[in-house]
Amino acid sequence: MKLLPTVAGLGLLAATGFAQAADPNLPRNLAATCANCHGTNGKAVPGAGIDALNGVEKAKALQKLADFKSGAKPASIMHQIVKGYTDEQLDLIASYFAAQK
């Protein structure tokens, strides 16, 4: 069963033991950490050889990230990066990019 983003956000709070409310721009801020390689708001530079993430269907993105994490999908670098984010954070990131045109 898929968690709603708000529930995922609460899960993140519980995980870090932080009493403060989540920042309303948390998905945007988290997604921005991907932009160095994948382009601002996921719009990668065409022809530069790195995947664009804007408009990628959320379920598809989460499956790919899960496969990087488990090792099912081979990668040069993403298998190491994806392990630095919680599942809740990946959920927020995938939602944000799915909504980008």
Partner 1 sequence: MMLMKRRDFLKAGAAAGALASLYGCAGTGKASGHVVVVGGGYGGATVAKYLRMWSEGGVQVTLVERNPTFISCPMSNLVVGGTRTMEEITVSYDGLKNTWGVRIIQDDVLAVDAAKRSLRLAKGGELSYDRLVLSPGIEFMWNEIPGLDNAAAQSTILHAWKAGPQTVALRKQLEDMKNGGVYALTIPKAPYRCPPGPYERACLVANYFKQSKPKSKVIILDANEDVVSKKGLFTKAWTDLYKDIVEYRPNSEVKDVDVASKTAILEFDKFKADVLNVVPPHRAGDVATKSGIKLINDRWVDIDWLSMESTNTPGVHVLGDAVFPAPTMPKSGHMANQHGKLAAAAILNLLSGDQPNPTPVLMNTCYSFVDAKNAIHVTSVHQYDPATKVVQPVKGAGGVSAARNEIEGKVALGWAKNIWADMLA
The DSSP symbol for 42 reads G
Whether the CB-CB separation of 95 and 58 falls below 8 Å is answered with yes
Cβ-based nearer residue to partner 1, 55 or 86: 86
Residues 6+ apart with CB under 8 A from 19: 13
Distance (Å, rounded) from C-alpha 20 to C-alpha 77?
33
- Scan residues 9-68 and list those touching partner 1 (CB under 8 A): 12, 16-18, 20, 22-26, 28-30, 32-33, 35-40, 44-45, 48-50
- Provide, rounded to whole angstroms, the least separation between the CB of residue 58 and partner 1: 19
Min dist. Cβ of residue 30 to partner 1 (A): 6
| CA distances for 49 relative to 7, 45, 52, 54, 63, angstroms | 35, 8, 9, 15, 21
**Which one, 1 or 92, has the nearer CB to partner 1?**
92
Smallest distance from partner 1 to CB 57, Å: 22
| Residues at the site binding partner 1, with contacts judged by CB under 8 A | 12, 16-18, 20, 22-26, 28-30, 32-33, 35-40, 44-45, 48-50, 76-77, 80-85, 89
